[in-house]
Structure 1
């Protein structure tokens, strides 16, 4: 590699780090906004749901029962979205314990393989030797990894391949999930973790999976990002410190 190529690679790496830092600062600001908004919206939603349910219990007219049931269902749908925002705003602290990265990946594989099979997508898992051990909340990491795989399945819709691969670099455990789907445009790479952004069709919710993944990664002192150099297809990388001693605060 020439000196010019090294300088170019170093510049690109620095640019990527700056973009990730700006993204994380934005998401931290959104977290504070979400915490305040969640409280303000959740209380009236709870009142609407409880009153609709009370009226429904004493209503005999079929049409009015249908209308009240719709009001209750929509209020509860809003409540579920607020619960997701609250998870983003005030995530539960990870319950750290010794675990194996391969077991976390295998748990995700078993949870998501049936959904992949139903849409005729091949889900693959590559585990390295020697075993990668870390101190983390295994349940939270399974949830985060499943969110990434689910995102890939939604992008592919049918056929294709998703591969989970594990690695270790310095003090970080690294999980990469790559697919051979349409990929993620560069301009969207920093938006997919935004809780107020969704590439879904209208009426299908906020698409909160990758935001949950970001929240869990940062609660562990790690990070998750789009590998914009990968293509065709998409690769999402989850990095988690091997031990709490190697954790750097993200707050």
Structure 2
């Protein structure tokens, strides 16, 4: 049903009645107003889809009221004849002018006006969505840069605390203080990890996953007081996903539902297939996504959210919870994981009406799975002899100094480098070093390219890598296929010594 406001002043009105308009099409419902203030109230109350106005003195007032109270609502002017007055009203924002003699064309004109309005709404919604995505992507880039620096800083704090523990006894108060520092480092590392999940541009190591395979993990992670109603048909296409990350995404949404329903309730989890047009696809890489998507829906019947809350929902550290209950990073991680899988999220919510989160992921048939990293079984690492020469490649001064002290204290002869170029200058011949401990991100290159050049010179050199996160599929494949040890920053210096010695 199309709700139409017919505005016709008593003086100088046109020969159009609400009954005549409704006769033109059964789906038209027309209400007539002759007073400009009453017509403005109808517009302001959202009670009409479109307005018709006779070409009288009040038509310009109606256009001004529309612009102020209901922007976008089409206004069609009905004139006895198309003349200067009609042209002036078109200049003031009328969408169409139609002569009374052409009234039979009104249904087509109304269809055209409403289609134009719908298209404008779609463009505005798409522009708004793109603007939000651009803002969150900018936050993601900032989060990645900040997290990289924070990992190095946390690593330095962890390292100095660990070195300090070697100099004091367990009965010393400083022992407890230093362990509290290390515990705080672990908490900071968890926050940093969440920031990296939010900011990472794409997920590595994705494999085909059946949607139904998620159900056991979701039921196992269901918060107390919630009951899961699942509608997951068997005949659904796979999606390409990192299973642990996708499980984490839905666990966060279940946790969000539990917060919205403190008294308990039902969470509905459903999965469907959607074929979308180009303008309906909001993947970071639409060309790779294709047009077929698997839509995962998580819906609760909780308190819902106001528009201003929903607007900021995925921003890092934004939370409506009281202090001490959550970091404000849960839904930021949800957003990041969706984007890493070349998908996106849609949220429907209103105060008192619950919330529905919809995740759209490309169907596997529309994407290509990356080749799985393969390689021979990992050989048993021989213990690195005492006094072996170790090359330590790390661009952060504090981390480089701490790691060098720890390795020297373990009996190794350590040389340090901060760049690819300086490392190559030191590793000038086969056998120059028994092992290389290398950061993945360096000022003049990356640790994987450096490792390849070192292996060409000395295939027997032992390699160990470190980073705050594995950045791309190439690095992941190289490390996995070579079975090289990898330490996540911030790492404990004892763990570094252990992996170089050949421990697990």
Shift of 1:208: 2.1
Provide Cα deviations, 1:84-140, integer angstroms capped at 9, x if missing partner. Answer: 212222355343433322222x13422323x3xx3x222221223x62112311503
Which residues of structure 2 form unaligned runs of 5+?
A: 4-48, 51-113, 276-291, 369-504
What residue is the counterpart of 2:298 in the other structure? 177
Aligned match of 2:158 in 39, 44, 49?
49
Write the distance in 1 (CA, Å) between the matches of 2:186 and 2:133. 30
Check conservation: 1:195, 1:211, Cα contact below 8 A: yes
The alignment covers a number of residue pairs equal to 241
Q: 2:246 aligns with which of 122, 128, 141?
A: 141
Post-superposition offset of 1:157: 3.0
Inter-CA distance 77–38: structure 2 relative to 1 (3 Å threshold): same
Partner of 1:209: 330
In 2 relative to 1, CA 74–188 (structure 1 residues): closer, same or farther, beyond 3 Å?
same
TM-score normalised by length of structure 1? 0.82
Aligned twin of 1:72:
182
Q: Flag the structure with higher helix content.
A: 1
Residues 151-203 of structure 1: per-residue CA shift (max 9 Å, x gap):
21233233122111111110111111111111121111131211232233323
Partners of 1:226 and 1:235 within 8 A in 2:
yes
Contact 1:109 1:125 in 2 (8 A): no
Q: Is 1:26 matched with 2:130?
A: no
In structure 1, the partner of 2:366 is 245
Partners of 1:75 and 1:109 in 2: how far apart? 30
Q: Quick check: 1:179–1:235 contact (8 Å CA) kept in 2?
A: yes
Match of 1:40 among 142, 149, 161: 149
The structure having more radius of gyration, on CA atoms, is: 2
**Cα drift, residue 209 of structure 1:** 2.2
Aligned mate of 1:131, from 207, 232, 235: 235
Q: Which residue of 2 aligns with 1:234?
A: 355
* Aligned residue in 2 for 1:2: 2
Distance 1:127 1:72 in 2: 44
The alpha-carbon distance between structure 1 residues 107 and 233, as it changes in their structure 2 partners (threshold 3 A), is same
The answer to whether the 8 A contact 1:183-1:232 is kept is yes
Change (3 A) 1:182 1:21: same
| C-alpha separation in 2, matches of 1:198 and 1:174 | 26
The reply to whether residue 190 of structure 1 matches residue 311 of structure 2 is: yes
Match of 1:155 among 260, 271, 275: 260
User: Structure 2 vs 1, CA of residues 194 and 134 (structure 1 numbering), >3 Å: closer, same or farther?
Assistant: same
Distance 2:260 2:173 in 1: 39
Tell me: higher relative CO, structure 1 or 2? Use CA pairs within 8 A at least 6 residues apart. Answer: 1
Distance 1:80 1:67, change over 3 A: same
